[in-house]
Amino acid sequence: MLDVAKIRADFPILTVESYPDVPLVFLDSAASSQKPTAVLEAMDTYLRTYNANVHRGIYRLSEDATNAYEAARAKVARFINAQDAAEVIFVRNATEGFNLVAYSWGEANISAGDEILLTEMEHHANIVPWQLLAQRKGAVVRYVPFDENGVLDLSNLAELLTERTKIFSFTAVSNVFGTINPVKQLIAAAKAVGAMTMIDAAQAVPHMPIDVQDFDCDFLAFSGHKMCGPTGIGVLYGKRELLEAMPPFMGGGDMIRRVTLEKSTWNDLPWKFEAGTPSIAEGIGLGATVDYLTHVGMAEIHAYEQYLTHYALEALSEVPGLKVWGPPASQKAGVAAFTLEKLHPHDIAELLDKDGIAVRAGHHCAMPLHKKLGLAATTRASFYLYTTPAEIDRLVEGLHRVRQIFRL
């Protein structure tokens, strides 16, 4: 079991001194996680002591910056077990990863009548870029439904996933239900009909060991800020031969080999997809993040979050009128989206905030999912390696107070 007290000491924002009046109970890591000192220091050291642009200067500062930035890429590649660091494209966030593939791969490979398969539990980041592509090309977007437990209903998969399907893009972990999807099974089904696969790992990479070679996915995207890293940096993983064949997404500096007034040729991978000055401090910060998570151990983090999820679902079940949406704890990552009778989730979140408890209320960028449930919004508590059972107890106490205030 993780030494959570020791881990919490790594996160300055979680110390009592940060929030002396009502100690912070941060239960919104699925939106964005907190950052450990090691990550803050890596970024600070770069900015204070070797700040310079990368891939350009023939002077030491710039070489140091380039080395640290590229070392971060190599660390990320090892972290997700990519074959080659060139398969790791630094983007701003997971959203940009989807847009890159939907645009670059999609423009070249999708035609009128082709089908793009998603699921009904996707985040908007894995819906809207495909809808835009489908509109441009006259393609069709289809969706694998979920059942009343928030689990994908695969009974009609053979009708949805056919030789017309050019790509199947789905989330490894739902950001609302917490459902852990059977990624390898779905990839195997896609391969059987010759479809490409893209995995939304925004809620997976931060919480469990992920091995892209074991998945054998074609593309996979995630964000730094949900895994204890900085905002402004994310990762698109793609198989080398696919990335080689794809045209650039954006044009500008760094992504070219040669430019004339008539035409341009492209840089090697991964830089072909990284136009302009990248997020250097953030990239270096992501390298430190990977070091941090590796040191703690991804399997240990996953096991601890499983324990927390069981604990939370049990504790929340004692609040009368509260319903947690999604599957039982055994099939779920550390996310509990709930409703409390007919109370508006924003009211719940506001009252909890008065007790120092930070939860998210809204549709969590999953409007189709909520529409299917007949809800406009849910309140979501999400857990990470620094969350304690005592914090979940405070959430439950807070919810009892909410009930009293509304005289339920």
The interface region with ligand PLP, picked from 185-193, 199-207, 274-282, 299-307 by CB under 6 A, is 199-207
Helix (H) / strand (E) containing 129: helix 128-137
Among 10, 200, 282, 305, binds ligand PLP (CB under 6 A): 200
CB atoms within 10 A of CB 97: 31
Q: Is 228 a catalytic residue?
A: no
Q: Does 99 bind ligand PLP (CB under 6 A)?
A: no
Residues 150-179 that bind ligand PLP (CB under 6 A): 171, 175
Q: Does 123 bind ligand PLP (CB under 6 A)?
A: yes
Residue type, 154: L
Residues 25-54 that bind ligand PLP (CB under 6 A): none
335-360 b/e (C-beta count within 10 Å ≥ 16 → b): bbbbbbeebebeebbebbeebbbebb
Among 34, 99, 165, 203, binds ligand PLP (CB under 6 A): 203
Query: Rounded to the nearest whole angstrom, what is the least distance from the CB of residue 194 to ligand PLP in the complex?
Result: 26
Query: Rounded to the nearest whole angstrom, what is the least distance from the CB of residue 98 to ligand PLP in the complex?
Result: 8
Phi and psi at residue 266, to the nearest 5°: -100, 150
Q: Residue 207 has which token pair?
A: 């919480």
Residues 361-390 that bind ligand PLP (CB under 6 A): 365
Query: Rounded to the nearest whole angstrom, what is the least distance from the CB of residue 292 to ligand PLP in the complex?
Result: 19
Query: Rounded to the nearest whole angstrom, what is the least distance from the CB of residue 123 to ligand PLP in the complex?
Result: 4
User: In terms of CB distance, is 34 or 171 closer to ligand PLP?
Assistant: 171
CB atoms within 10 A of CB 112: 9
User: In terms of CB distance, is 55 or 123 closer to ligand PLP?
Assistant: 123
User: Interface mask (CB under 6 A) for ligand PLP, residues 58-97, using x and -?
Assistant: -----------------------------------xxx--
Q: What letter does residue 161 receive in the DSSP assignment?
A: S
Three-state DSSP at 274 gives coil
**Could you write out the DSSP letters of every residue in 294-317?**
HHH-HHHHHHHHHHHHHHHHHHHT
Query: Rounded to the nearest whole angstrom, what is the least distance from the CB of residue 218 to ligand PLP in the complex?
Result: 17
User: In terms of CB distance, is 232 or 398 closer to ligand PLP?
Assistant: 232
The interface region with ligand PLP, picked from 41-49, 120-128, 177-185, 395-403 by CB under 6 A, is 120-128
109-112 contacts, C-beta under 8 A, 24 or more apart:
109/166, 109/167, 109/196, 110/134, 110/137, 110/139, 110/166, 110/167, 111/137, 111/138, 111/139, 112/137, 112/138, 112/139
The interface region with ligand PLP, picked from 178-186, 200-208, 261-269, 373-381 by CB under 6 A, is 200-208
* Calpha distance 206→188 (Å, rounded): 24
Among 223, 279, 309, 387, binds ligand PLP (CB under 6 A): 223
User: In terms of CB distance, is 221 or 298 closer to ligand PLP?
Assistant: 221
147-186 b/e (C-beta count within 10 Å ≥ 16 → b): eeebbbebeebeebbeebbbbbbbbbbbbbbbbbbebeeb
Q: Which of 233, 376, 370, 229 is nearest to 293 (CA)?
A: 229
Residue type, 34: Q
Query: Rounded to the nearest whole angstrom, what is the least distance from the CB of residue 67 to ligand PLP in the complex?
Result: 27
CB neighbour class for 4 (10 Å; exposed up to 12, middle 13-18, buried from 19)? middle
The interface region with ligand PLP, picked from 3-11, 51-59, 178-186, 195-203 by CB under 6 A, is 195-203
Q: Which of 182, 184, 169, 189 is nearest to 122 (CA)?
A: 169
User: In terms of CB distance, is 79 or 98 closer to ligand PLP?
Assistant: 98
Query: Rounded to the nearest whole angstrom, what is the least distance from the CB of residue 390 to ligand PLP in the complex?
Result: 26
Active-site hit among 13, 242, 365, 375? 365
Angle at 107 between CA 160 and CA 271, to 5 degrees: 115
* Calpha distance 305→330 (Å, rounded): 11
User: In terms of CB distance, is 203 or 309 closer to ligand PLP?
Assistant: 203
Query: Rounded to the nearest whole angstrom, what is the least distance from the CB of residue 226 to ligand PLP in the complex?
Result: 6
Tell me the torsion sign for CA atoms 227, 172, 181, 79: negative
User: In terms of CB distance, is 290 or 399 closer to ligand PLP?
Assistant: 290
Which residues make Cβ contacts (< 8 Å) with residue 106, sequence separation at least 6? 130, 133, 137, 167
Give the binding-site size for ligand PLP (rule: CB under 6 A): 13
User: In terms of CB distance, is 283 or 398 closer to ligand PLP?
Assistant: 283
Query: Which are the catalytic amino acids?
Result: 365
Binding site for ligand PLP (CB under 6 A): 93-95, 123, 125-126, 171, 175, 200, 202-203, 223, 365
